Amino acid sequence: MQFSFSSDQRDFAASLREMLTNEFTTKQLREIWDTGTGHDPALWARLSDMGVLSMMLPETDAGMGADFTDVILLLEELGRAAVPGPVFETMTVGALALHGTSFATGIADGSVAVTAALLGEANVPHAGMSDVVLLRDGDCVSAVERSALQLTSVCGLDGGRSLSTILRPTGLGTIVAIEWSEAIDAGALGAAAYLLGVSSRMLEIAGDYARERRQFGQPIGAFQAVKHLMADALLKVEFARPAIARAAWSMAVGDDDRSRDVSMAKVLVADAAVKAARSALQVHGAIGYTWECDLQLFMKKAWALIPAWGTTTFHRRRVSDAVLGVRV
Amino acid sequence: MDLTETEDEKSFRAEARQWLQANVPATPLPSFDTAEGFELHRQWEGLLFEAGWSAVSWPVEYGGRGADYLKWLIFEEEYWRSGAPGRVSQNGIFLLGPTIIEVGTEAQKARYLPAMASSREIWAQAWSEPDAGSDLASIRSKGRLSDDGTEWILDGQKTWASRAAWADWCFGIFRTDPESIRHRGLTFILIPLDTPGITVRPIAQLDGDAGFAEIFFDDVHVPVANTLGEPGKGWNVAMAAAGFERGVSLRSPARFNVAVDRLIELWKQVGDLDDDTMRDAVTDLWMQAEGYKLHTAMTVTKLLEGGHIGSESSLNKIFWSEMDVRAHELALQLLGPGAERTDGPYESWVDGFLFSLSGPIYAGTNEIQRNIIADRVLNLPRA
């Protein structure tokens, strides 16, 4: 047994972090928020150039043929930077659903973005800028081109995630080669890994503030009440991390318990994200409650993703059905 | 990443399981915090040692099995699933032993480790003092060199010394530089508990048994050869041990996985299966125990790949101790008023509940652990 990431996997994540740190600052993220599109075409092209978007496509579709263990650290980095647009959706469930179709090479070259609404969501994220929307069709998944859907833009919490209501004409779309439950697993794990990155970043921002901000003649981070608040949040984040890694392994090998493992990962990281957001806000005090403070960019991403791809109740029930037996 | 067991790991597991099935006592032993139970546990440890299972991760030459930490985790899983007795040798094999292996001289390794592995000598920990609990660096018990420089002469008082009521030896930290303050000038010393001048006074714990004791030192002479690590560097020696203890060895995940499996059985037997709140709570506990197992496996892989356990071991300690309390609270909630009886069918849950409450306190309270995490992992300013 070897429960660690390879040096290649870690190196790729490190280079992605370096690119995002240099080329995608919170100032740029705010500019995307201001456009109202929830999308950064230049960054999307950059991620495509780096080969990030096509990781999970087979080589026959100009992809890397990678599995979830190869992308999990990348997804975390994307979350750490709150990269806008349907990035984890396209990379994970998008690639797994659309490989071998006419859309696949477009995912690889950055010309096709994929989003999904597989749980009956009233507000579909990223639909306005995506080319394909994955929708539920019984136990199957249907790929529908955006142009075939009637979209109505609505307002959302997170400026990196445009929202629309959609009207779906019946009989449209193509059934793709992924079962609905497998698509849920893939998307939920993508969301979980991204959310881990968002959560870590919130604690980093809070830590920076706690070192700088002085009250009663000392940095507030020296106060035990602040230390313990942050330590408890870190505890949840760090215990979600191995659960996400294990779920990646289970998905990669098609383990019988993969749905349980993905759901466990999502429950733990959602819980960690709730705690990290609350703690980071509390450490900041009033400045954290402002539009000006960068923390909001990440809190809002967290609050959007905590219930996305299955609420905590949904995922906890999936775990309990697997562990305790199906509820009668 | 590869989470499947190798053939070698599988056969190791099979071998451990087979031996445990054949040898674990059919009826539980009395508590090792009683005189009778202590000796019965010592005999069990002897049996484990004879078969090479008492200290699986130690080198073979010192009585171990030379297994890596991943195999140690496998052994622990099999051990706790088999219902085998608690480890009366815990302080020695899992805390002091690895420290001696890391910083001890060859002579010390040869002298102490085999006797520790076989439980011919069982160890107590003597760190805390009446005025040095969470603030461990304020230790006042003194050691001074004899005039000829061959002996430490120890005076002072230690307390909350686990297993000291019946143990053979203790390992303690003493202030050997009278001018020193805080973490400096402390020395880690190994002491036979039958040395003249030592008085051990057992303390009854919450369950009434003498799980720890006070140890009084009055002009106690021990050879300087009993110094572990450099004189004056006792704090570093102690903290190396403490990091390992909290990080990996103090509470292996398996015992919590087994406890949660028992909790699930209890829920099926006595729970209201229509109560979704309880169903969710039991599920959360399962996820916690599973999460702890995964976290430990990741830490151990990191160690095997040449990494070190740092202050993140404090995260582990908080996690398992809070989880253990929560599991037992839930069990008692399921049992209702039936849990008031201490000698009935649910005795082990009541005992376990009381024991779980010590977890957030010993080996450094969870509040101290949160300070360590904040200071050294989150890099917040020191108070």
ipTM of this complex: 0.96
Q: How far is CA B139 from the centre of its chain?
A: 21
Instruction: Decide if A84 contacts A20 (C-beta within 8 A).
Output: no
Backbone angles phi, psi at A318, to 5 degrees: -65, -40
Probe site for chain A from B77, B264, B278, B283 (most A CB atoms < 10 A):
B283
DSSP E strands in B169-254: the ranges are: 169-175, 186-192, 198-203, 212-223, 227-228
B297–A3 CB contact, under 8 Å: yes
Taken in order B301, B57, B285, B324, is the CA torsion positive or negative?
negative
Mean pLDDT of B105-116: 98
A320 contacts chain B (CB < 8 A): yes
Instruction: Decide if B67 contacts B15 (C-beta within 8 A).
Output: no
pLDDT band at B244; cut points 50, 70, 90: low
B301–A267 CB contact, under 8 Å: no
- Chain B residue at shortest CA distance from A262: B287
Stated length of chain B: 383
Q: Which residues form the domain of A261?
A: 181-324
- Chain A residue at shortest CA distance from B369: A231
Radius of gyration of chain A (CA): 19
Residue A108 lies in a domain: no
The interaxial angle of helices A180-212 and A295-305, nearest 10 deg, is 150
3-state secondary structure of B267: helix
B70 contacts chain A (CB < 8 A): yes
Q: How many CB pairs under 8 A join A and B?
A: 145
- CATH code: domain of residue A309: 1.20.140.10
Backbone angles phi, psi at B154, to 5 degrees: -105, 140
> Residue B243 pLDDT > 70, yes or no?
no
A218 contacts chain B (CB < 8 A): yes
- Chain B residue at shortest CA distance from A248: B1
Residue A117 lies in a domain: no
Residue A72 lies in a domain: no
Domain range annotation of chain B:
7-117, 123-237, 251-377
Find the helix or strand (DSSP H, E) in which A248 lies: helix A224-253
Instruction: Decide if B32 contacts B74 (C-beta within 8 A).
Output: no
pLDDT value for B344: 86
Alpha-carbon span A57 to A53, nearest angstrom:
9
Backbone angles phi, psi at A82, to 5 degrees: 50, 50
pLDDT value for B247: 60
A324–B373 CB contact, under 8 Å: no
* pLDDT tens per residue, range B185-219: 999 999 999 999 999 999 999 999 999 999 999 99
Q: Which CATH superfamily is domain B123-237 in?
A: Butyryl-CoA Dehydrogenase, subunit A, domain 2 (2.40.110.10)
Of A3, A207, A211, the CB nearest to B298: A3
Structure tokens belonging to residue A130 = 């995506």
- Chain A residue at shortest CA distance from B300: A3
Total domain count for chain A? 1
Residues of chain A predicted below pLDDT 70? 171
* pLDDT tens per residue, range B129-156: 999 999 999 999 999 999 999 999 999 9
pLDDT value for A167: 87
A238–B9 CB contact, under 8 Å: no
A239–B291 CB contact, under 8 Å: yes
How far separated are the first and last CA of chain B, in Å rounded?
40
Residues of B in Cβ contact (< 8 Å) with A199: none
DSSP A41: H
User: Which tops the pLDDT comparison, B95 or A228?
Assistant: A228
A3 contacts chain B (CB < 8 A): yes
CB atoms within 10 A of CB A40: 22
Q: Which of residues 7-66 of B touch A (CB under 8 A)?
A: 9
> Residue B62 pLDDT > 60, yes or no?
yes
pLDDT value for B124: 97
Q: Does the structural domain B251-377 have CATH classification 3.40.50.620? A: no
CATH topology of domain B7-117: Butyryl-Coa Dehydrogenase, subunit A; domain 1 (1.10.540)
pLDDT value for A327: 80
Instruction: Decide if A64 contacts A51 (C-beta within 8 A).
Output: yes
A227 contacts chain B (CB < 8 A): yes
Structure tokens belonging to residue A292 = 């000006």
Q: Which of residues 261-280 of B touch A (CB under 8 A)?
A: 264, 267-268, 273, 276, 279-280
Alpha-carbon span A252 to A70, nearest angstrom:
9
pLDDT value for B242: 61
B280–A238 CB contact, under 8 Å: no
Residue type, B176: T
Residues of A in Cβ contact (< 8 Å) with B307: none
Q: Which residues of B are catalytic?
A: 245
pLDDT value for B153: 98
The residues facing A125 across adjacent strands are A163
Residue A138 lies in a domain: no
- Chain A residue at shortest CA distance from B5: A1
